[in-house]
Amino acid sequence: MKLKNKVIAVLNQDYFYSVISKLVGVLLALVYSAFYTRYLGAALKGDAAIISNYISLISSFTALGMYQAYPYYRKKGEDIFYPFINNMTTLYALMTVFSLLLIAVLPVSANLKFAICLVPVQSFIRHINYVVMIETPRRRNTASMVIAAQEIVVVVFFYFFTQATYVHLLLILLLQNLFNLAVSWSNLKVILKKLRFDLSQVKRYATFGILPMVTLILMTLNYRVDILMLEDLFHTPKASIGIYSVGVALGEKIWLVPDALKDILMSHLANGSDKQETAKVTRMSLLVVVFMLVCLIVLGKPFILLLYGEEYAGAYEILVIMLIGVVGMVFYKMIYAFNVVNGKRVINLVFLGAAAVLNIIGNYFLIPLGGIAAAAWASVISYIVCGLAFLIYFCRTEKIRVGDMLFIKKSDIASFRQLFR
């Protein structure tokens, strides 16, 4: 009974539960990616990466930054939950109809047309998840594991019972988004008896969201511009893009740790926590990330061969390069969350804008010289510069020592031990 109570006490800690759920999510995602990547092959994996990046970039526009209005007005004491959900549901239902009409007349590639169809769904899911993250972050983490599990079921079915074609790829992506939408909606625990669209409220959210929208666009460019430039500007073979996307995706798995802590941090900040908690969470996240980084550098190559096969052996070089920039992303993610909740939106915009421009320029000049490896280096340079800019700004404005952001303290260890007493 005593052991049971200890386990319950540990799981009741928001940060601990969030990290554990994200780690489980990583394991599930790796199982999924092994089947998914082997099933598609490098060329179709390139198509999948291109579609995903189109969706990310376009949805950063259609989201209008409105989701970031939610924690701001909530912190001010406004009862925003029901009207916000109602307005977003109506808005993206209308946008879905518009997107279906749009692809009927646009003379663009099949990849881009399919991406346009899924953009309203992705934008709506983004708003739902943001609300859930603020209200009940634990519920969102649990949902992430559920979504990862159902994605495995879908792709395993296709792996064993179908032969990979472009149509099968589109069907997998469609099913994933519909399941994601269903699970995300169920997390709201709300029933809309009647859809209402309050234009004045939406304008208010959008007005607040202008800077966050531009910030999100810049953030997405910083993450995704490499693949889009490889495809659209330099016409890189899709098989090479597929290999590149595997290396990038594995590197991004490490981001899930700071992402998990960032989600809880933002919820706590919206409810009154301060800069000291931001510093504590940053240095604890950094410790875990460095440990995972070393493990991936040492074990990454045999891991890729085991998981994805010889066809993707070239992804290891991309992975190692991308890992160099991960540390910078820890500072960016934590301090970005602090700035959002505290209304420091302009500085987020400035730093992310500079990083995106640096990334685009780097890709433009480096890709012709070194192909996909050069694209990875361009991203890494922008990540490091971005992270350092956020770190220096936060330490100077909040009067926090750089060492307090980097190194674990005795009090952190004591807090961790307290969980198991």
Q: What's the confidence (pLDDT) of residue 369?
A: 92
- Over 70: is that where the pLDDT of 193 sits? no
Average pLDDT over residues 311-320: 93
Nearest to 127 by CA among 92, 94, 99, 93: 92
Q: Which two tokens stand for residue 377?
A: 């280096």
pLDDT in tens, 19-41: 677 678 778 888 999 999 999 99
Contacting residues for 365 by C-beta, under 8 A, at least 6 apart = none
Q: What's the confidence (pLDDT) of residue 62?
A: 83
Amino acid at 370: G
Exposure string of 285-299, with b = 16+ CB inside 10 Å and e = fewer, is bbbbbeebbeebeee
Q: Which has more pLDDT, 180 or 254?
A: 180
- The rounded distance, in Å, linking the Cα atoms of 236 and 239 is 8
Percent of the chain with pLDDT over 70: 86
Q: Which two tokens stand for residue 49?
A: 């990466």
> Which pTM value belongs to this model?
0.78
pLDDT in tens, 235-246: 899 999 999 999
Q: What's the confidence (pLDDT) of residue 10?
A: 43
Q: What's the confidence (pLDDT) of residue 24?
A: 80
Q: What's the confidence (pLDDT) of residue 255?
A: 73
pLDDT in tens, 59-111: 888 877 788 788 778 877 777 887 888 888 888 889 999 999 999 898 888 99
**Domain spans of the chain, in order of start:** 2-418
Where helices occur in 309-344 by DSSP H, the ranges are 315-324, 326-341
